[in-house]
Amino acid sequence: MGNSSYHGLEASLNKTFSRGLSFHAAYTYSHSIDMVRDNLFGGTSASIVPNTYNVKGTNRGSSDFDFRHFFALTYVYEIPTLRSAPNGLRQILSDWRLTGVTTARTGRPFTIVANSNNGSLGNLGGLVTEYGDCLGSGNLPSDQRTVLKWFNTSAFATPPTRLGSCGRNTMTAPGLAQTDFNLTRSFNYFGEGRRLELRWDMLNAFNNTHFAPPANDVSNPGQFGQVTSLAGDPRLMQFALKFIF
């Protein structure tokens, strides 16, 4: 009985400059809509719809993996050989390659729930999560959002032992921005088809903080609306030495 739809606009730009420098930019504006949670993705919406008499009306909404805006910029720089430099310095600075990717996306959607209402309405083995009551949109201007109050918590309430009026995935979690770098040097001194490669990878190079979706249980007012955990990793560096033959 479930269905889904996806619409998207994709745009890309490639530019190659002289001396080994090139860029590729890609942008996607999209909207994915469905009626059932994607269990493999691990979204925040219910595994089973709360109201089986009105599946489309209560559970049709943005997909758990719906990122409305997504941007990626990749770049490669083949560092040119300094032919005018002394031979020793030229050998040190030759055959280096710098690559990187910067990604930015808007946040994933999440649902306002009322866990305290599950038992009174029958939760089918714990798989159903009842929705909260919506008194307003709950959205806050971007300059008013903080980790202690990501949305307007006064716009929601706990339903009095009945189905909540909120829909599925009506709110949006914090977005994400990250830059990864890689520096590689090849040593081609080992005969045909053989080389030694030195790599330095730096993931999340600027150590950006990535916030997880805020607490979404309206029946838990102590944490409701607060960002209490992180998503993604802090800066991570790794070195590798490979012999390719």
pLDDT confidence band for 101 (50 / 70 / 90): very high
Calculate Rg over the CA atoms of the chain: 25
Q: Residue 150's pLDDT is what? A: 96
Q: Residue 3's pLDDT is what? A: 84
Q: Which residues contact 225 (CB under 8 A, 6 or more apart)?
A: 148, 149, 150, 151, 152, 153, 214, 215
**Res 235 pLDDT > 60:** yes
Spatial separation of the C-alpha atoms in residues 103 and 231, rounded to whole Å: 15
Structure tokens at 223: 């944490």
Structure tokens at 61: 């909404």
Spatial separation of the C-alpha atoms in residues 223 and 200, rounded to whole Å: 41
User: How large a percentage of the chain has pLDDT more than 90?
Assistant: 57
pLDDT confidence band for 70 (50 / 70 / 90): very high
Q: Residue 11's pLDDT is what? A: 98
pTM recorded for the entire structure: 0.82
> Rounded to 5 degrees, what angle do the CA atoms 22, 99, 207 make?
130
Smallest CA-to-CA distance from 77 within 95, 90, 65, 91 is with 95
Spatial separation of the C-alpha atoms in residues 71 and 176, rounded to whole Å: 11
Name the more confident of 174 and 92. Answer: 174
Smallest CA-to-CA distance from 56 within 15, 2, 107 is with 2
> Rounded to 5 degrees, what angle do the CA atoms 63, 106, 14 make?
110
Cβ atoms of 164 and 117 within 8 Å: the answer is yes
Residue 141: alpha-carbon gap to chain centroid: 21
Spatial separation of the C-alpha atoms in residues 85 and 93, rounded to whole Å: 9
Spatial separation of the C-alpha atoms in residues 182 and 101, rounded to whole Å: 9
Query: In this structure, how many other beta carbons lie within 10 angstroms of the beta carbon of residue 55?
Result: 15
Lowest mean pLDDT, pick from 84-98, 177-191, 192-206: 84-98
Name the more confident of 56 and 69. Answer: 69
